[in-house]
Amino acid sequence: MVKIIDAHSHLWLKQDTTWNGKVIKTLENGRSMFLGEEVQMVPPFMIDGKNSAEVFLSNMNYAQVSAAVVTQEFIDGIQNDYLEEVQARYPDRFFVCGMADYFKPGFAQQAEELISRGFKAIKIPAHRLILDGQRIWMTSDEMMQMFHLMEDRGIIFSVDLADGDIHVAEMKEIIAECPKLKIAIGHFGMPTTERWHEQIKLARNENVMIESGGITWLFNSEFYPFPGAIRAIKEAIDIVGVEKLMWGSDYPRTITAITYRMSYDFVIKSNELTDHEKELFLGENARKFYGFKQLVDLPYVKNMSE
């Protein structure tokens, strides 16, 4: 069986931040105050709201996921200090992304400091850079300075884009300016929105990949086995080839609705994808792109209910 790698996940010990002037804060029983409403942010058994590496590892071991890429999001607060600890504690299981505060001048220096601390990827949740009455452009002078630094140092650029083609022109400019910069585009191009194919087409460039973090959330109204998500994967294969695509779960938010295993099991059980396509999508592409080496073997453990 292929060794599975999750190319899009999140970790935090506590949410206590703001975005666009609104509060995100950990409550009780897995709930958070989120942009003006109370939501179930993580499963209710996470009663303290801690989304820790140890709980994730337990889910990974149960679901036979060998390794995970931990990205970041402004709605969780900047988690560099915790993720640095996670990387040091579990170097063979996690690949973590650093994140700077792009709303304040000097973020390129922050990124350089993160790289010096050992981070091998820098995240920009670009969809969060569009605020009420303000937009942070990824093609600004300081952003380009940061991208050139990342290209020179071999640092991966992890990015989530706004719906459709809103950010595509900026991404084309970044790719043209920094053609050797390795880029992972998240959320599978937002396949439930119009013109999502334009994001997928960016992976026609040599060093650009697409990962599917959040795809089960985007097709949540269908629920398991997510036939629309399978159709989106097949469409993306037709556009850029399966070698350009990676599976991601968007753990833990997605497992409020489904189990962690279900977030990839629908791919395993699909009759519309070949075994070779499944092998590349679920792990092999991410292994090569992120440079995972010591992937653990995780034998299946029988459920008591079987």
**Its pTM surpasses 0.75:** yes
8-state DSSP, 47: T
Q: Are strands 245-246 and 208-211 parallel, antiparallel or unpaired?
A: parallel
Percent of the residues in the chain that have a pLDDT greater than 90, as a whole number: 97
Enumerate residues 6+ apart whose C-beta is below 8 A from 134: none
Report which of 216, 270, 279 is spatially closest to residue 243, judged by C-alpha positions: 279
74-118 pLDDT, tens digit each = 999 999 999 999 999 999 999 999 999 999 999 999 999 999 999
CA 256 to chain centre: 17
Q: What is the pLDDT of residue 190?
A: 97
> Does residue 204 sit in helix, strand or coil?
helix
Q: What is the pLDDT of residue 2?
A: 81
The mean pLDDT of the chain is 96
207-253 pLDDT, tens digit each = 999 999 999 999 999 999 999 999 999 999 999 999 999 999 999 99
Edge-to-edge strands of the sheet including 245-246? 121-125, 156-160, 183-185, 208-211, 245-246
Task: Decide: 69 and 27 in contact? Cβ < 8 Å.
Answer: no
For residue 272, give the amino acid letter: E
Asked if pLDDT for residue 70 goes beyond 90, the answer is yes
For residue 53, give the amino acid letter: A
Q: How far apart are CA 127 and CA 15, in angstroms?
A: 19
Q: What is the pLDDT of residue 72?
A: 98
> Does residue 243 sit in helix, strand or coil?
helix
CA 243 to chain centre: 18
Q: What is the pLDDT of residue 1?
A: 67
pLDDT level of residue 291 (50, 70, 90 thresholds): very high
Strands (E), the chain: 4-9, 16-19, 22-26, 31-34, 37-40, 65-70, 94-96, 121-125, 130-131, 134-135, 156-160, 183-185, 208-211, 245-246
pLDDT level of residue 306 (50, 70, 90 thresholds): confident
Asked if pLDDT for residue 166 goes beyond 80, the answer is yes
Q: Which residues pair with 12 in a beta bridge?
A: 51
Enumerate residues 6+ apart whose C-beta is below 8 A from 86: 11, 53, 70, 94, 96
